[in-house]
Amino acid sequence: MKSRFLFLLAGISFMLTAAAQSDTVRFDRFSVVFPAKPTSVGLGTNMRHQLRLADSSAIFQALQIDMSDQGMDEATVLMMQAEPAFWEQTRDGMVAQLGGDTKLIKDEMLDWKGTKIMQMHLERPSKEGGVNKLTLRMLFLGTHMIQYGHTNRNDKADAALRDAFLASLQIK
């Protein structure tokens, strides 16, 4: 009886661990944990993972872009990051890509265990009316540009899920 109970407990533990790991997206040098299993799309040597919650209240996304595809090496990427103008141009480019109706509310530089991360808070009109609030983070690891973030759709998203996702970043 005791051995059956331990076997059952071990089985349940294994299934829970396997389920939790399925929500973890691992890239070359970092990982993030989504609240559920995201869809994944390969874009050449780049990858994008996205999760839209079933109730459409939030979107979670992580993207890796290999800058070596554009002829950049790690030394060049490191040198570029040392210049404040680089971060300003990158921020302005990202805001422009989101559309002319996107408003940058706040941007700040974070230190994540020794890695520079630009965090932006943005707003843009929702197709359904109202406003979507985006929290986007960008960092560089080697020759990879990493973007990950959360979209709060019409103020319906769970802030605890957003915070857990953003805090789940692990850098290798």
Assigned domain for 10 exists: no
Q: Print burial letters for 39-52: b (CB count within 10 Å at least 16), e (below 16).
A: eeeeeeeebbbebb
Per DSSP, the three-state class of 131 is strand
Assigned domain for 12 exists: no
Assigned domain for 16 exists: no
Assigned domain for 131 exists: yes
Averaged over 24-41, what is the pLDDT?
A: 90
Averaged over 60-78, what is the pLDDT?
A: 90
Averaged over 86-102, what is the pLDDT?
A: 90
Which residues form the domain of 47? 24-171
Q: Contact 117/98 with Cβ under 8 angstroms?
A: no
Query: How many domains does the structure of the chain reveal?
Result: 1
The answer to whether residue 54 scores a pLDDT higher than 90 is yes
Assigned domain for 2 exists: no
Assigned domain for 1 exists: no
Averaged over 125-139, what is the pLDDT?
A: 91
The answer to whether residue 58 scores a pLDDT higher than 70 is yes
**Percent of the chain's residues with pLDDT above 90:** 52
What pLDDT was estimated at residue 6? 37
Residue 16 is which amino acid? Answer: L
Assigned domain for 17 exists: no
What pLDDT was estimated at residue 25? 87
The answer to whether residue 138 scores a pLDDT higher than 80 is yes
Nearest to 145 by CA among 116, 123, 166, 168: 116
pLDDT tens, position by position, 7-19: 333 343 433 443 4
* Domain CATH number, residue 28: 3.40.1000.10
CA-to-CA distance for 17 and 13, rounded, in angstroms?
6
Cβ neighbour number for residue 37 with a 10 Å cutoff: 13
The answer to whether residue 22 scores a pLDDT higher than 80 is no
What pLDDT was estimated at residue 12? 38
Q: What is the pTM of this model?
A: 0.81
Assigned domain for 6 exists: no
